[in-house]
Each structure stands twice: as structure tokens, then as C-alpha cells.
Amino acid sequence: MKTFIIAEIAQAHEGDIGIAHQYIDALATTGVDAIKFQTHIAAAESSVYEPFRVKMPGSDKTRFDYWKRMEFSRAQWKALKQHCDEVGLEFMSSPFSNAAVDLLEDIGVKRYKVGSGEVSNFVLLEKLAQTKKPLIISSGMSSFAELDSTVQFLKKRQVEFSILQCTTSYPTLPEQWGLNVIAELKERYSVPIGFSDHSSTIEACIAAVALCAEIIEFHAVFDKNSLGPDAKSSLTMPEIVQLVKAVSAINTAQNNPINKNDNASFSALKQIFEKSLAVNKDLKAGHILTFDDLETKKPKGYGIDAAKFESVIGKKLCNNLKQWDFLNEDDVSSTGSDWSSTGLD
């Protein structure tokens, strides 16, 4: 298993194409697999009546104005795609209109991300289905009933897709992560399942990967105090490096399952760490041993195995022993004893 890691720039570029390219260069050093943008064409997707999710200071009087400011030209999108290709990262984007799909098809994409607000937009899904390309569906605002309808729609059109557990809350608190949904989605739909995060922490994605999320996605930002609406829900570059390293370690563990029935590789260590029976006081021959007479000492093999202590209780000592001496089989009457009947070996 190798988790596919998507860093989302979204609108962190603030409509500045130069900053968008800076993000590509920065993320290319972190170890992520893909960079995701959002392709907004204001006239095709919005109107002056759309309310702000987060009203940011600045000149944008409406959210339509904001989306207009976030637009890039076709040539600029092609340049961003080419830049991603040059640094070895997959270029991805979420389209928010059929016109955006046409634009992305023109510049060339491998797959599409469907944002949480578009899961029930069957017009957009029909447009995407016609591209014959895989989809990654974010389930942030969808109930299972709504997802069932979307899944049925996509399966009818033979679309390859995966689903991300996501909570549309910025930033997402731990009690909102919904880690339990990862397994529920796997069982319900039998498709690749991942996790889209807005928590501003690396812990959420680490937990998701440990629960076998096959894809993780998070917002990336240079500075969490910047003005973008997703800044405080994002990860910085150092955090992304740390997360990628953690995901790699978890994937290594997942790809190397341990057989708990076989502990042969610990034979030498068991001789060092496991213990032998000893006595905790001076005892004379003829003494009847009790539990309160016993101690255990390293290493294993210098006395009766500690695991076999019950076999000596009530037995008579044959030899005098000093405090902390190891207790061996020839020190104890063998009458009724079965030294091999208990213990680990």
C-alpha cells in the first residue's frame, strides 16, 4: 500500500499567478504526489447573490467578485500544468462548472476532484462522466443517502471513482474528523477510500492513513496568518514534510505485517530479557517452598524458568541456598514435579 498524497493550493495564491508557481516549487520539495488547484470561472458558476463563506478584508464586494479575482487564463492554467509536469507532480484541479471541465480537458488532466458542494450536482457529474476519467469525490456535506444516489449515478455510467471522508468545517475539530466513516465507506461502496482534511494539524491525516485511507488531501499554505479563507485550516510546508515522512513510515509498516505466531527472531533476546527463578532469602535444605520465597533474575537459563514457578510451590529444598541464589531443578525434590509441563518453552 502507498497512500496517494494531495496538497491543495486552492485559492492560497490569492489570484496571483506568480504565487501559484511559488507554491508548486515549494510543494515539489515536500514529497507529495499531486498538487490540486480549484478552477473557478465566475460567470459560469456563481452570481452576485452567492454569500461569502468567510468574508475577507479587501475589495471584493461579493463572492462573485472574489471568484472573478481567483480566475486564471487558459494560458496561465497551461503554464501551471507544465510547471507541475516539470517538477514531477501530478496537476489536479476541482472544476466548479462545465466550462471549467472544458478548460481542464484542454490543458490535460489525469483525473478530477469533485468538491463537497458538487456531489449532488448531476449536471457537472454528467459532464465529468463524459470525459471517461477517474473521479475523487469529497463527501464533506453528503449523507449516505445522497452518496448512494451519486454512486448509483456514476456506476451506471461506468465511471471509476474513489470517495474521501471529509467534514466541511474550517478548521475541523478532532470530534468532527469522522475517522469511523473511513471503514463505513469502504464497506458500503467497495471503492478506494481516502480522507480530506481541514484540521490544520498533521494528526488527522496520520490517523486516517493508519486506518488504511488510500488517499489523503489537505490544504497547503505558506503562512497560516495569511488572508486566504482556508489559511487557518491548512498545513505549512514544514508540517507537510513531517506528514509525508509519517505517512511513509506507516505505509512501510502496513506493507510488512508481523506474524505474531512466529517469535523465532527473538530467541537471543529472550535469553537476555527473560528470567530464571531465584530465592529471596537464605533457605536451608528441607524448607518447603512458598511463593513468598521466590524472586526472578536475569538471564534465562540459569535457573528454572520463571514461568514454571507454580511447579516448585510446596516442594522441599534438597540443598541449602543463599539469598538471591538461582533455583535449579536439582535444588528441589522432584517428587510429583513435571518441569516441562508449564511455561513458554
Question: Is 310 a domain residue?
Answer: yes
Whole domain around residue 173: which residue ranges? 4-254
H or E stretch including 70?
A: helix 63-70
Mean pLDDT of 7-33: 96
Say how many CA atoms lie within 13 Å of 103 toward its Cβ. 24
Q: Which of 200, 231, 254 corresponds to the end of one domain?
A: 254
Residue 338: what pLDDT?
Answer: 47
pLDDT: is 194 or 264 the higher one? Answer: 194
Our count of domains for the chain comes to: 2
Task: Return d(Cα 298, Cα 119) in angstroms, integer.
Answer: 63
Instruction: List the helix and strand counts (H, then E) for the chain.
Output: 11, 10
Which CATH number goes with the domain that contains 319?
Answer: 3.90.1210.10
Measuring CA to CA, how many Å separate 309 from each of 71, 115, 197, 278, 322? 77, 64, 53, 10, 18
Indicate whether 342 belongs to any domain.
no
Whether residues 248 and 287 share a domain: the answer is no
Do residues 177 and 149 lie in contact, with contact meaning Cβ atoms separated by under 8 Å?
no
Give the pLDDT confidence of 140-187 residue by residue, as tens digits.
889 999 999 999 999 999 999 999 999 888 899 999 999 999 999 999
pLDDT reported for residue 336: 45
Q: Are 285 and 222 members of one domain? A: no
Residues 237 and 291 in one domain: no
Claim to verify: residue 62 and residue 205 sit in the same structural domain: yes
Residues 246 and 280 in one domain: no
Is 70 exceeded by the pLDDT of residue 343?
A: no
Residues 229, 281 within the same domain: no
**How far is C-alpha 88 from the geometric centre of its chain's CA atoms?**
23
Residue 41 and residue 185 in one domain: yes
Q: What is the rounded distance in angstroms from the CA atom of residue 345 to the CA atom of residue 341?
A: 9
Residue 335: per-residue pLDDT: 61
Judge if 100 and 209 occupy the same domain. yes
Residues 6+ apart with CB under 8 A from 268: none
Does 259 map to a domain?
A: no
Q: Quick one: average pLDDT of 238-262?
A: 97
The predicted-structure confidence for 273-323, as pLDDT tens digits, reads as follows 999 999 999 999 999 999 999 999 999 999 999 999 999 999 999 999 999
341, part of any domain: no
Domain final residue pick, 209, 227, 254: 254
With 90 as the cut, is the pLDDT of residue 238 above it? yes
Q: Mark whether 250 and 272 lie in a shared domain.
A: no
Domain identity same for 89 and 203: yes
Measure Cα distances from 273 to 168, 213, 306, 307, 325 in Å: 50, 37, 12, 13, 18
Q: Which pLDDT tens digit goes with each residue over 95-148?
A: 999 999 999 999 999 999 999 999 999 999 999 999 999 999 999 889 999 999
Determine, yes or no, domain membership for 140.
yes
Structural domain includes residue 304: yes
Environment class of 267 (CB within 10 Å of its CB; exposed 0-12, middle 13-18, buried 19+):
exposed
CA distance linking residue 192 with residue 57, whole number of Å:
39
Q: State the Cα–Cα distance between residues 247 and 239, nearest whole angstrom.
A: 12
Does residue 240 register a pLDDT over 70?
Answer: yes
| Residues 98 and 164 reside in one and the same domain | yes
Based on the domain organization, do 308 and 234 belong to the same domain?
A: no
Write the CATH number for 205.
3.20.20.70
